[in-house]
Amino acid sequence: MKILLSEEQLRQGVEQLAREITEHYGHRPVTIIGILTGSVVLLADLIRQLDMPLRVGVIQARSYRGDTTTPGPLSVHADLLPEVADCDVLLVDDIFDSGQTLQRITGQLNALGPRSVRSVVLLRKARSRETAIEPDHVAFEIPDEFVVGFGLDYHDAYRNLPYLAVLEEAELD
């Protein structure tokens, strides 16, 4: 594997995201929704850096299945979503790739009557988008390569790596 972002770089990126979020919300209460499963590491690190009243919930979205490294149809499960009506909501996701996940979940949340919905992602891939939506906060721009670590996986492996790495062709077989 080729390391793309070190543990230290990721820590600094999360700190920068926390500063941006704090600057935007101040001390207003925020409902933070992590998009499972890739966001769990970012979510945990990020909420420990925020000094405002917050609630945390999760929603599950999945578009990668089996041996593929390209997204397929998006499946969303909102069973664990907290009440968001009249709340400021911040969606937390690991990676912004096609934009489909963020667009669909933002649409579902807006239908529930929140005061606002904003988004934060650890990574944004350098590629053309299938949607017009963009995340409000981005820690890192990365090349259009398949990456793992810091919550991102390949076949449910590598999520625990403390750094972000690009899988080589031989590792994808």
Which CA distances in Å does 119 have to 88, 138, 149, 167? Answer: 11, 9, 21, 27
The catalytically annotated residue of 45, 88, 93, 97 is: 97
Residue 7's pLDDT is what? 98
Q: Is the pLDDT of residue 77 over 60?
A: no
Q: Is the pLDDT of residue 57 over 90?
A: yes
Report d(CA 98, CA 161) in Å as an integer: 24
Instruction: Indicate the helix (H) or strand (E) that contains 21.
Output: helix 7-25
Q: Is the pLDDT of residue 67 over 80?
A: no
Q: Is the pLDDT of residue 47 over 90?
A: yes
> What are the residue ranges spanned by the domains of the chain?
8-65+74-144
Which CA distances in Å does 60 have to 34, 74, 130? Answer: 8, 10, 21
The verdict on domain 8-65+74-144 having CATH code 3.40.50.2020 is yes
Q: Is the pLDDT of residue 170 over 80?
A: no
Question: What's the pLDDT tens digit per position in 30-42?
Answer: 999 999 889 999 9
pLDDT band at 98 (very low <50, low <70, confident <90, very high): confident
pLDDT band at 61 (very low <50, low <70, confident <90, very high): confident
| Residue 97 annotated to the active site | yes
Report d(CA 51, CA 35) in Å as an integer: 21
Residue 132's pLDDT is what? 85
Question: What's the pLDDT tens digit per position in 122-169?
Answer: 999 988 777 889 999 999 999 999 999 999 999 889 999 999 999 887
Report d(CA 5, CA 110) in Å as an integer: 33
